[in-house]
Chains A and B, each alone.
Chain A
């Protein structure tokens, strides 16, 4: 059963999401994105995922917001409404997908059900054996660094690749110089 705090936070999250997509001012939308991340971090805390919560608060509300703001500074902080003609097709597609997914939830285990399939197989092993096999009280750390260390290794590979990609795309300080002598829209003047 869901507590009141879950209900309120989940509802708030949905409201903030709607506000984000309705805003034309991208700067305000990015700030609301930070609030959205912080709200989801509090929701993770009440759902016992403390490690996920502080990662989301640091990475989602912190680094992500900074990256977005930096991009806004280099590009355009206003969404121009004349480019957003209302189209029915995307809305229909999204609503249909949503209704199908909601229909599918009626077969899902209820929130907090200890007999749900997710709690049956490998998770109890981790919970019972972490103390003797790894010796770290925090099970999330034990799984992340030991049982599933190869996942984390794969993650670092992805981050490394993304870093290389960003560096190749932007080229460090060169980007600022290029922007200073930028030409007006269109590619005519470029070599």
Chain B
């Protein structure tokens, strides 16, 4: 018997590991940033899915509703989304400068150019 009550955590872990794999294994810098974004969404998903209460509604006070989902993870994740975009903007700016200087955004080529420079 599969416990569907844990399915949300499993998908979150799958997404997290997908993102982590891209960050570690792919050489393309933009692909790495995409992986980082996937990782970030998975963390947000984790918090928000923990805040859900069975039979609850969105945490906006209204007559006739007694059970609300937990608003605290929502607040924390709002901050996380905006900060995540700020950091990925910074990362993309760095990629643009790397392209300008090295003429490539592939990690192994950048390493090769660096090694050539050190040798000469």
A contact residues vs B (CB 8 Å cutoff): 1-2, 6-7, 10-11, 13-14, 17-18, 20-21, 26, 29-30, 33, 36-37, 40, 43-44, 47-52, 55-56, 59-60, 63-64, 67-68, 70-72, 74-76, 79-80, 83-84, 87, 90-91, 93-95, 97-98, 101-102, 105-106, 108-114, 116, 118-119, 122-123, 126-127, 130-131, 137-140, 143-144, 148, 151-152, 154-155, 158-159, 161-163, 165-166, 169-170, 175, 178-179, 182, 184-187, 190
Given the known A-B contacts A2-B4, A71-B92, are A56 and B13 also in contact in the complex, defined by CB atoms under 8 Å? no
B28/A83 in contact, CB under 8 A? yes
For chain B, what secondary structure do more than half of its interface residues adopt (helix, strand, loop), or is it mixed? Answer: helix
Q: Which residue of B lies closest to A163 (CB)?
A: B86
Known: A21-B31, A155-B82, A185-B103. 9 other contacts (CB 8 A): A2-B4, A47-B49, A52-B77, A52-B81, A64-B88, A71-B30, A75-B105, A144-B79, A155-B79
Partner of B51, one of A7, A49, A68, A143: A49
Bound Cα distance from A51 to B90, whole angstroms:
25
Q: Which residue of B lies closest to A131 (CB)?
A: B61
B contact residues vs A (CB 8 Å cutoff): 3-11, 13-22, 24-28, 30-31, 33-35, 37-38, 41, 44-45, 48-62, 67-79, 81-83, 85-90, 92-97, 99-109, 113, 117
Given the known A-B contacts A47-B52, A76-B99, A185-B102, are A40 and B44 also in contact in the complex, defined by CB atoms under 8 Å? yes
B89/A67 in contact, CB under 8 A? yes
- How far is the CB of A31 from the nearest CB of chain B, in Å? 11
A140/B52 in contact, CB under 8 A? no
- How far is the CB of B41 from the nearest CB of chain A, in Å? 5
Partner of A101, one of B13, B61, B78: B13
- How far is the CB of A164 from the nearest CB of chain B, in Å? 10
Bound Cα distance from A112 to B37, whole angstroms:
26
Bound Cα distance from A106 to B44, whole angstroms:
20
Q: Which residue of B lies closest to A137 (CB)?
A: B61
Bound Cα distance from A154 to B105, whole angstroms:
32
Residues of B close to A184: CB separation below 8 A = 103
Given the known A-B contacts A50-B58, A94-B21, A169-B93, are A143 and B99 also in contact in the complex, defined by CB atoms under 8 Å? no
